[in-house]
Structure 1
Amino acid sequence: MLGGVVMAVLLGGGGFYAAWSGMILGGASDQSAEGVAPGPLTGIAFVPLETMVVSLGADSNSRHLRFTAQVEVADSAAADVTLLMPRILDVLNSYLRAVDTAAIEDPGAMAKLRAQMLRRIQIVTGEGRVRDLLITEFVLN
């Protein structure tokens, strides 16, 4: 019996030390925090889109959508994407005018709309130029 108590105390103490020192549960080590510093971001650029005010479809009772975004591009493609900006704005304007107001008001709509707009931008600019669409303003009046 005494052997069981001693064994329990030793195992309990060993478990406490292992958890306290970070051997278990992945505690942060001072060495790992010092060794890796994030490098500078390179090869990335953001091209701002002009703010768009789009009147929505016929059933919208003169409702408007105010939309602002930025396009994430490879640094080398920023000039090309800027040159194609009139086409990008045209395709977004055409798409947003065709979207039903009820679809915009849906809580899950933002992800779907963003994916649709990004795909249209990628078609206009050509594959590999545009990485992402970052929506910074999306207000329905």
Structure 2
Amino acid sequence: MTEPAPASPESSPRKKGKLIPLLLTAMAALGGFGAAYTGLWSAMDLLSPAEARPHDEKPVAEFVAVPVIDLTLQGARSRNLVLAAMIETTQDKAKDIEHTMPRVSDAFNGFLSGIDPAAFDKRGVLEIVRAELLTRSRAILGDEVVHDLLITEFRLK
């Protein structure tokens, strides 16, 4: 019978045990370099004091009220739709929205009066109306001016 071959000195457990920490260290160094190179973090930011670091300040949100819309819906039964909304913007753009508010109210009234009264009885109509009014306000005022549209009152009476 043949005898088993002796284990080669290269694959001894001692040499493998020394290789694992070296590989982990090299991988950590490459990961840190990659993160710094792509801009995820900077070593200089870690060394500078916290007061000297620039802070990304977001502009304060400003809400501009849209005049309350009260529409009489056509149909077999007479109902009124009451809608109140607010446009979210920044403080420096609020005056522009207030100046253009008659155009926004006209677009909102035109859209709401064109909706079939039976659609108001279906689920999810509020989300659809909100999305359409937001689209119309962004078309009139601009994407950079209007951040969001909030419906504060939606009532059928």
TM score, norm. by length of structure 1: 0.66
Residues 67 and 137 in structure 1, CA contact (< 8 A), matched pair in contact too? yes
The 8 Å contact of residues 59 and 90 in structure 2, kept in 1 or not, is answered as no
Partner of 1:94 in structure 2?
A: 110
Segments of structure 1 that go 5 or more residues without pairing to the other structure are: 1-39
Separation of aligned partners in 1, 2:109 and 2:70: 9
Kindly indicate whether residue 68 of structure 2 is the aligned counterpart of residue 47 of structure 1.
Answer: no
> Aligned in 2, Cα 1:55/1:85: closer, same or farther, shift over 3 Å?
same
Looking at structure 2, the residues matched to 82 and 60 of structure 1 have their Cα atoms a distance apart, in angstroms, of 37
Q: Which residue of 2 aligns with 1:139?
A: 155
Query: Deviation per CA, 1:8-49, whole angstroms, max 9, x where unpaired?
Result: xxxxxxxxxxxxxxxxxxxxxxxxxxxxxxxx9743100011
Cα shift at 1:101:
1.5
How far did residue 84 of structure 1 move? Answer: 0.5
| Percent identity (aligned) | 34
Q: Which runs of 5+ in 2 are unaligned?
A: 1-56
Partner of 1:19: none
Q: 1:60 to 1:46 in 2, by over 3 A?
A: farther
Task: Give the total of aligned pairs.
Answer: 101
Q: CA RMSD in A?
A: 1.6
Instruction: Tell me which structure has the larger Cα radius of gyration.
Output: 2
TM alignment of 1:99-110, pairs within 5 A: 99-110=115-126
Where relative contact order (Cα < 8 A, 6+ residues apart) is larger, the structure is 1
The answer (yes or no) to whether the contact 1:60–1:101 under 8 Å persists in 2 is no
SS of the residue corresponding to residue 49 of structure 1 reads strand
